[in-house]
Amino acid sequence: MNGGLLVAGTTSDAGKSVVTAGICRWLVRQGVKVAPFKAQNMSLNSFVTREGAEIGRAQAMQAQACRIEPTALMNPVLLKPGGEQSSQVVLLGKPVGEMSARGYHGGRQQRLLGTVLDCLAELRGQYDAVICEGAGSPAEINLRRTDIVNMGIARGARLPVLVVGDIDRGGVFASFFGTLALLSPADQELVAGFLVNKFRGDVSLLEPGLDMLKGLTGRPSYGVLPFRHGLGIDEEDGLRVSLRGAVRESAVAPPLGADVLRVAVCAIPLMSNFTDVDALAAEPGVVVRFVDRPEELADADLVVVPGTRGTVRALRWLRERGLADALARRAAEHRPVLGVCGGFQILGEHIEDDVESRAGAVPGLGLLPVRVRFAREKTLTRPTGRALGEPVEGYEIHHGVAEVTGGEAFLDGCRVGQTWGTHWHGSLESDGFRRAFLREVAAAAGRRFVPAPDTSFAALREEQLDRLGDLIEQHADTDALWRLIESGAPQGLPFIPPGAPA
């Protein structure tokens, strides 16, 4: 078997990442050697592979669904927004510069098509099947000429395309039909059919519409996936929850002790790797919320200042909102504050940034004895160590180089009283360390909170991936899906006018 598939979507957030992960987990349970692929990803949530390459977290999660180690081949182009008009371009895991959207789509993107096709070909030579994820919608006709992630990669590698639509948003039939009808004849030849995502209710009521869609397009539906709570995976394009909403939709387990522990995460601009707090939200009795007002820190037992692609911009935002003063009051009162990566840098005394913001010398909040200088070379590592008497693993993604001049050692950073700072993302996924840290937070906050002794974040992630595989196995036409992956798009699929404009 040397199969492949591109999972496209009618919109951003239609469920492409979830469906791709689910197909990967279903295939690997069938004994298929499978890998994920996304030619180009725009995300502030990234991960560091064993070889020190930076890729989107969604592809790292999909690699876990395949039960393999992630590599740079799985996400050759990563765009990390630095504002409304520009992004850092990460090529094969390493940053190669900043570029405006106009400059990127004006020529650089199309020149990368050969690179991404080479990466895909290399993966296909190593695995039985490669399940590719598109981006946004394949019917973005203004971008089709330079596209390397949707129909551009499908055409270049002759991949069959499955279009996913989120019925929970409404208008899914029009979205399916319109997506197909705005593609050129050559692109339409590869679109094999549709998959409905997030359906609530009786599927029999949907079937007449699916039959009509097949009559209109000549293409079948490959399944109807029901809506399921708590299936959120590592997000790509932004924060998909309300700022005042819980991190996950799954029911919060009751606390083991008498009290819950409340965690407030400052929703700073260009927030990156906010998935760091997922491990906290997985603990029974821990309630994690995103906040953007100083009064929302008042009843929090722990405040987290997360990573950001714009440290100086986030620092200014905290000051403008009054959150900086609220953080300073917390530190003075010995109430727990944790800064991660950019958040750690913000808590320091001084920032020298001629790279990211080019703002030069900027005073930090002065809550930790740390001075930060931004280097042009990005730190991309997978450190291991010990803290609070427990083993810890993490990963680092930052330009800022921290000089720690005091305090008590904490991972690569420090702590002063109940103010903690580190560059390590993912440290809270280490179960023993997370429990020890939460015990310290509970004691400082005066809460009768007891961490669960048996919560395994890795096991919870595996359970989540298995649930995605179950969705595909139980609600998709897996026989038809197998044929599609193995043999490609059926021949003779009809053209649906008007097609893409010339």
User: Are the C-beta atoms of 322 and 316 separated by less than 8 Å?
Assistant: no
User: Can you spell out the DSSP letters for 55-107?
Assistant: EEHHHHHHHHHTTS---GGG-SEEEEE-SSSEEEEEETTEEEEEEEHHHIIII
Cis before 336 (ω within 30): no
What are the backbone angles phi and psi of residue 460, rounded to the nearest 5°? -65, -40
Which residue is listed with tokens 């080019």?
358
Catalytic residue, from 398, 399, 423, 425: name it.
425
Which residue is listed with tokens 């081949």?
73
User: Are the C-beta atoms of 49 and 55 separated by less than 8 Å?
Assistant: yes
Does the annotation mark 341 as catalytic?
Answer: yes
User: Are the C-beta atoms of 122 and 92 separated by less than 8 Å?
Assistant: no
Which residue is listed with tokens 């009808």?
181
Which one, of 237, 297, 232, lies nearest residue 264 by Cα? 297
Does the annotation mark 425 as catalytic?
Answer: yes
**What count of residues does the chain have?**
502
Rg (CA), the chain: 23
Which is it for strands 261-266 and 302-305: parallel, antiparallel or unpaired? parallel
User: Can you spell out the DSSP letters for 438-486?
Assistant: HHHHHHHHT------TT--HHHHHHHHHHHHHHHHHHHB-HHHHHHHHH
Interatomic CA distance for residues 65 and 123, integer angstroms: 16
Catalytic residue, from 341, 398, 399, 475: name it.
341
Fill in the amino acid letter for 18: V
What are the backbone angles phi and psi of residue 480, rounded to the nearest 5°? -65, -35
Interatomic CA distance for residues 20 and 43, integer angstroms: 17
Strands (E), 273-406: 286-291, 302-305, 307-308, 337-340, 350-353, 360-363, 370-381, 384-387, 390-393, 396-404
Q: Give the active site residues.
A: 341, 425
